[in-house]
Amino acid sequence: MKILIGGVVHETNTFANVKTDVAAFKQWEWSRGEEVMQNRGVRNYIGGMIAQAEKLSIEIEPLFSTFAYPSGIITAKTHDTLIDHLLKRLKQAEDYDAIVLSLHGAGVSERSEDLEGTILQEVRDVVGVDVPIVVTLDLHANMTQKMVDLADIILGNHLYPHTDSYEIGLEAVEVAQKIVEGTLKPTMHLEMLPLIIPTSTTNMGPAKEVNEWCYDAEENKDIIDCTFYHGFPYTNISRLGVSVLVTTNNDAKLAQETAEAVGQSIWQKREQFLQKPLSPKEGIKQALAHDGKPVVINETSDNPGAGTPGDGTYLLKAMTENHLTDACYAFIYDPEVAQQAVEAGIGATIDIKLGGKTDHLHGEPLDMTVYVKAIADGIFKKSTPMGRGEKVDLGTSVRFLYNGVDIIVCSKKSQVFDDEIFKLLGIDVRKYKIVGLKSSQHFRAGFEHLSSKIITVDSPGLSTFDFTTFDFTNLKTKLYPLNDVTYE
For binding to Zn ion (CB under 5 A), which residues are involved? 138, 140
Phi-psi sector, 21: left (phi>0), alpha (psi -120 to 50), beta: beta
Min separation Cβ 478 and Zn ion, Å: 25
Q: Between 139 and 246, name the residue whose CB sits nearer to Zn ion.
A: 139
Q: What angle (nearest 5°) sits at the alpha carbon of residue 106, between those of residues 356 and 126? A: 135
Question: Which residues are CB-contacts of 399 (< 8 A; sequence separation ≥ 6)?
Answer: 372, 373, 374, 375, 406, 407, 408, 425, 426, 427
Give the nearer residue to Zn ion in terms of CB position, either 140 or 357: 140
- Which CB atom, from 139 or from 284, has the smaller least distance to Zn ion? 139
Least Cβ distance, residue 189 to Zn ion (angstroms): 22
Please give the DSSP secondary-structure letter assigned to residue 278.
Answer: B
Label each residue of 3-30 as H, E or C.
EEEEEEECCECCCCCCCECHHHHHHHEE
* Distance, CA of 142 to CA of 232 (rounded, Å): 6
DSSP string for 384-426: SSTTTT-EEE--SEEEEEETTEEEEEESS-----STHHHHHTT
Query: Closer CB to Zn ion, residue 67 or residue 402?
Result: 67
Closer residue to Zn ion in complex, CB, 168/193:
168
Rounded least distance, CB 475 to Zn ion, Å: 21
Cα distances from 280 to residues 297, 366, 381, in angstroms, run: 8, 16, 30
Are the C-beta atoms of residues 6 and 32 closer than 8 Å to each other? no
What's 190's DSSP letter? E
Q: Minimum distance between the CB of residue 173 and Zn ion, rounded to whole angstroms?
A: 21
CB of 423 to Zn ion, least distance (A): 25
For Zn ion, the closer of residues 154 and 184 by Cβ is: 154
- Which residues are CB-neighbours of 353 under 8 A, at least 6 positions away? 337, 365, 366, 367
Task: Output the smallest distance, CB 106 to Zn ion, in A.
Answer: 8
Q: How far is the CB of 296 from Zn ion (least distance, A)?
A: 20
Of the pair 85, 140, the CB lying nearest Zn ion is at 140
Closest distance to Zn ion from the beta carbon of 212 (Å): 20
Q: Which residue is nearest to Zn ion, using beta carbons?
A: 140
State which residue, 294 or 307, has the beta carbon closest to Zn ion.
307
Task: Give the whole-angstrom CA distance, residue 271 versus residue 397.
Answer: 41
Nearer to Zn ion, 39 or 439 (CB): 439
Least CB distance to Zn ion at residue 147 (A):
16
Q: Contact, 113 vs 237, CB < 8 A? A: yes
* Single-letter amino acid code for the residue at 175: V
For residues 403 and 324, is the Cβ–Cβ distance under 8 A?
yes
> Cα 301 to chain center, whole Å?
14
Strands 405-410 and 397-402, by their bridges, are antiparallel
Distance, CA of 376 to CA of 130 (rounded, Å): 52
If the CB atoms of residues 112 and 202 are measured against Zn ion, the closer one turns out to be 202
**42: exposed, middle or buried (C-beta count within 10 Å: 0-12, 13-18, 19+)?**
buried
Complex with Zn ion: residue 45 or 470, whichever CB lies closer: 45
Q: Minimum distance between the CB of residue 11 and Zn ion, rounded to whole angstroms?
A: 6
Nearer to Zn ion, 234 or 472 (CB): 234
Q: How far apart are CA 411 and CA 23, in angstroms?
A: 15
Please report how close the Cβ of residue 6 comes to Zn ion at its closest, in angstroms.
Answer: 20
Q: How far is the CB of 433 from Zn ion (least distance, A)?
A: 30
Nearest to 354 by CA among 405, 394, 280, 408: 408
User: Cis (ω within 30 of 0) for the bond into 309?
Assistant: no
- Residue 486: CB atoms within 10 A of its CB come to 8
Peptide bond into 481 cis (omega under 30): yes
